[in-house]
């Protein structure tokens, strides 16, 4: 059984903050690109890198900090949920 975060919205509006790109990149993988996890995934708004959440190995956060891509988006079954900016240390959607 695959466990995913519940959908928060339909992802139609993908606003970010001044640290995010004008248009968010689509997720480029169905699982974490480092460990293969398929639960609690985050997508880099800048390049689409997919990583696992901080409650797992934290690969999404690692990518965001190492590559200076501070905005990540929650991947849900129905699209995208919230967005987080590591520069602002807050939700931006």
Q: What is the DSSP string of 6-61?
A: PP-S-SS-----TTS-SSPPPP--SS-TTT---SSEEEETTT--EEE-TTTT-HHH
pLDDT of residue 2: 44
Per residue in 64-93, pLDDT tens? 999 999 999 999 988 778 999 999 999 998
pLDDT interval class at 1 (50, 70, 90): very low
Size (the chain), residues: 93
pLDDT of residue 15: 52
Residues paired with residue 72 on neighbouring β-strands, in sequence order = 44, 84
Per residue in 22-56, pLDDT tens? 889 999 999 999 999 999 999 999 999 999 999 99
Residues paired with residue 39 on neighbouring β-strands, in sequence order = none
Whether 14 shows a pLDDT value over 80: the answer reads no
Please list, in sequence order, all residues whose beta carbon lies within 8 angstroms of the beta carbon of residue 24, skipping any fewer than 6 positions away: 14, 16, 43, 45, 46, 71, 73, 80, 83
Domain limits, the chain: 41-91
Q: Are 71 and 91 in contact (CB under 8 A)?
A: no
Whether 4 shows a pLDDT value over 60: the answer reads no
């Amino acid at each position: 059984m695959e466990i995913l975060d519940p959908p928060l919205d339909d992802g139609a509006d993908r606003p970010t903050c001044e640290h995010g790109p004008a248009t968010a990149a689509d997720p480029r993988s169905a699982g974490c690109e480092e460990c293969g996890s398929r639960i609690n995934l985050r997508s880099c708004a800048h390049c689409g890198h997919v990583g696992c959440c901080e409650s797992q190995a934290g690969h999404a956060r690692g990518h965001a900090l190492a590559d200076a891509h501070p905005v990540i988006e929650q991947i849900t079954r129905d699209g995208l949920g919230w967005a987080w900016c590591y520069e602002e240390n807050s939700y931006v959607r």
